[in-house]
Structure 1
């Protein structure tokens, strides 16, 4: 695949297009950040929002929610339940935190389908060692639906935001390549179902180790927009740009590049760091059998530029293009 076709494919990818309306939807919510008695550290645009309870000095709390894609829930209720735990746990770990508890909102069109979702949730909770402590049931919905929310905690010295990348930082991608694509969902790179709970949590806790050493300037969990699209969201909210060497992105052998850049892995992180810390970070990931590379650099100009096979082309110009549309100092704390 040549670079021009790759750029067209990424721009047209539904995983990116589905993010376009975020900034328009949340516009009216920004005024609510002034209410309540907690101190909000970071809100919209982060994998999980970060807040501080004034009476608790040493820790921030993290909170996130993910709604499961309707096509996934309807096609495979068990997998949707399992994934709802995975994605929420990842939203906390990528902040350098640890998930504490989860709750769910489940709508069912028949009891059997509801039980299938719950069985997947139980498997996910067993795997990631996080309790599901409550929720809400719609027993007479006209279709199956699921959303899960997670509460986590992180030392205030260790929190990693996705809106704090700076020009000159190195771009790191760290992905667990020990997996396979799900047969039903072409971009879901499953790295957890074949692993033990201990193996999965050892990988997740890699972010805690890195956070405790304050080695990253920013990080974001690779999600539905794929690895390049997720990087684009990080650049948007940081108010910067980046140049990415596509050939340097960790990739399994035999997987077409076009498919891989759109994949959302069981564990995958896009991060930035000062050059002096990059070798140590790569070694920490590699010690946990996570493939990690330096694949680019942050630039001042608000553009995402791809380099591939000795060619260079613009993917996004954030002055006119958007993924989420969220902007530093306008939509974020």
Structure 2
């Protein structure tokens, strides 16, 4: 697998081991330590699911100023571990540090991969987002998990490997810190394609400002590319579980990310002029 996907994919028998790691902003860990611990498990599980996998176990590294500083972070991780059914099997703790820091790694396994490198021109881009939540201020994090039944959380994550194994998609990415638009641009760059996006088509909670929503990090949110004929069946998988899903754009061959809204359009990134992450697969000379 090229560098730049949500996880490293390591061939393993009839499938792949998936390995990923997340580090968290110090301000986030200090400001909302319990939720930071929860996210240590949740966002890693999302990375595994985004590649068509099922999470197996996590390890963590926690730095804090005393046991009192470490406890809420570890409590949040324990709560998420129980809710998602993903064991915390080890890690490292330093309680003699001036500030709170957190990093969490995860191991998973996939039978068939979803990747950031397989979107194809002519496909439809689909956004699937759990809108049954709220903002966890002051950050633009849409939180739809901490109060959800564990069985629902686990079943929702299972959708992604099921979609991969059914052959409904080969390209996906979880919506993360870049929001819908930024994540879509990263997917386009890795796949060496362009996108024409309709922001008004993105599933959005009532009363939430569109500009903020497009930059939001949802607790459950994925972008998937699918052939037009498979799009209705893929969307139906999500809506059957109460998750909002819709076609939000088209994959193009021109290597530009274009926002098209009503009678207006704007090119927000042109990969021919400037890379975004620099993780696209190099072109092979003919």
Alignment TM class, shorter chain as reference:
over 0.9
Which position in structure 2 is the counterpart of 1:311? 264
Match of 2:250 in 1: 297
Correspondence list, 1:220-239, <5 A: 220-239=173-192
CA distance in 1, matches of 2:280, 2:256: 13
Q: Which residue in 2 is equivalent to 1:37? A: none
- Which one of the candidate residues 130, 138, 142 is aligned to 1:176? 130
In structure 1, distance between residues paired with 2:192 and 2:229: 23
Tell me the CA shift for residue 78 of structure 1: 0.8
The ranges of structure 1 where at least 4 consecutive aligned residues each deviate by more than 6 angstroms after the TM superposition are none
Please tell me whether the aligned partners of residues 170 and 272 of structure 1 are also in contact (alpha carbons under 8 angstroms): yes
Question: Where does structure 2 lack aligned partners over 5 or more consecutive residues?
Answer: none
**Residue 75 of structure 1, CA deviation:** 0.7
* Alpha-carbon distance in 1 for matches of 2:79, 2:273: 43
**Residue in 2 aligned with 1:267?**
220
Q: 1 or 2, which has the higher strand percentage? A: 2
Structure 2 distance, partners of 1:131, 1:217, is 28
- Provide the secondary structure at the position in 2 that maps to 1:194: coil
5+ residue gaps, structure 1: 1-41
1:120 and 2:73 aligned? no
Report whether the alignment pairs 1:162 with 2:121: no
The whole-number CA distance in structure 1 between the counterparts of 2:246 and 2:106 is 30
Whole-Å Cα distance in 1 between the matches of residues 224 and 276 of structure 2? 18
Size of the aligned set, in residue pairs, is 283
1:1-333 to 2 correspondences below 5 Å:
42-53=1-12, 57-155=13-111, 158-185=112-139, 187-329=140-282
Contact 2:58 2:106 in 1 (8 A): yes
The two structures have a TM-score, normalised by structure 1, of 0.83
Paired residue secondary structure (2:99): coil
1:43 Cα deviation after fit: 4.3
Instruction: Compute the RMSD of aligned alpha carbons.
Output: 1.2
Contact 2:116/2:190 (<8 A) preserved: yes
